[in-house]
Amino acid sequence: MTDVKMDILLKENERLDDLCCNGYRLIQNTACFCFGMDAVLLSSWATAKKGDKVLDLCTGNGVIPILMHGKNEGITCTGLEIQETSYELAARNVAINELNGDINMVKGDVKEAMQLLGGSVYNVVTCNPPYMNENHGILNPESAKAIARHEILCTLDDVVKAAAMCLKVKGHFFMVHRPQRLVDIFEAMRKYKLEPKRMQMVHPYTDAEANMVLIEAVKGGNSQLTVEQPLVVYNKDGSYTKELLKMYGM
């Protein structure tokens, strides 16, 4: 174990990253799934008001609740994670940022979210779920990275159902996913009475196809979808666009 800043101890395969938000830091295990740009974009896309209760499904190492807390004043957050290693890492990340009073991590299955956390409890639910529904060719389906990327332990339907069950009426569900799954996403949302209200495509370059989509839905909302201007990540020279830097808080 290596001593890193104050009393933070890093284990094998771990590193300490600066989240560039309120001085928060995050321990990541490189042998597991490390967060990417999609988590940062979701934490900026999602909004919460003072006093709101926020739930993050498939929370991984807890990056989204920690960023959400830093960007939205006066909220309390819960993260739900099924993998023991990721859950323990998330709990440590809450502790090192001294957020134990504001963020709570729960170990459990998305399919049992309502039983674990209660129904119609949360004002906001966020999720950066496994994207891939084709599981053939996975060398080790029990690996942390495979579980984070593929619908092995939960499906898109499981995630949307859990969000709908845990949200209060008129509560907001924010999700990042792949554009190729949009039909499936809208079908699942309508199935569980979550009405898509806002959407933004994310493109790596102006002349490249979208590779992410940000979606906001409202439980019991009226039928009207706003499609926002696309978000472009990189300029032609490979530098981040102003819009992307703003979402990163830079």
- The HSE-up count of residue 45 (CA atoms within 13 Å, CB side) is 33
In angstroms, the CA 193 to CA 163 distance is 10
Question: E-assigned strands of the chain?
Answer: 2-4, 8-10, 14-18, 25-29, 53-57, 76-81, 103-107, 122-127, 167-177, 194-203, 212-219, 226-227, 231-232
Does 22 map to a domain?
A: no
Give backbone dihedrals phi and psi of 109, rounded to 5 degrees, phi first. Answer: -90, 135
Mode of pairing for the β-strands spanning 194-203 and 231-232 = parallel
pTM over 0.85: yes
Residue 30 pLDDT: 84
In angstroms, the CA 11 to CA 169 distance is 43
Q: Which domain holds residue 192?
A: 35-247
Using 50, 70 and 90 to split pLDDT, how confident is the model at 164? very high
Residue 136 pLDDT: 47
Does 11 map to a domain?
A: no
Residue 76 pLDDT: 98
Using 50, 70 and 90 to split pLDDT, how confident is the model at 35? confident
Residue 139 pLDDT: 47
Residue 145 pLDDT: 57
| CATH number for 129 | 3.40.50.150
The answer to whether 200 and 226 have CB atoms below 8 angstroms apart is no
| Paired tokens of 234 | 């990189």
Domain count, the chain: 1
C-beta neighbour count of 202 within 10 angstroms: 21
The answer to whether 195 and 189 have CB atoms below 8 angstroms apart is yes
Mode of pairing for the β-strands spanning 167-177 and 122-127 = parallel
Does 239 map to a domain?
A: yes
Reply yes or no on whether the pLDDT at 34 is more than 90. no
Give me the mean pLDDT over the 228-236 stretch: 96
Residue 5 pLDDT: 45
Reply yes or no on whether the pLDDT at 161 is more than 90. yes
In angstroms, the CA 168 to CA 187 distance is 20
Tens digit of each residue's pLDDT (9 = 90 or more) over 184-224: 999 999 999 999 999 999 999 999 999 999 999 999 999 99
Does 180 map to a domain?
A: yes
Using 50, 70 and 90 to split pLDDT, how confident is the model at 33? confident
Does 164 map to a domain?
A: yes
Does 8 map to a domain?
A: no
Does 210 map to a domain?
A: yes
In angstroms, the CA 123 to CA 137 distance is 39
Lowest mean pLDDT among 127-131, 154-158, 172-176, 202-206: 127-131
Does 174 map to a domain?
A: yes
Tens digit of each residue's pLDDT (9 = 90 or more) over 76-125: 999 999 999 899 999 999 999 999 999 999 999 999 999 999 999 999 99
Give me the mean pLDDT over the 44-68 stretch: 96
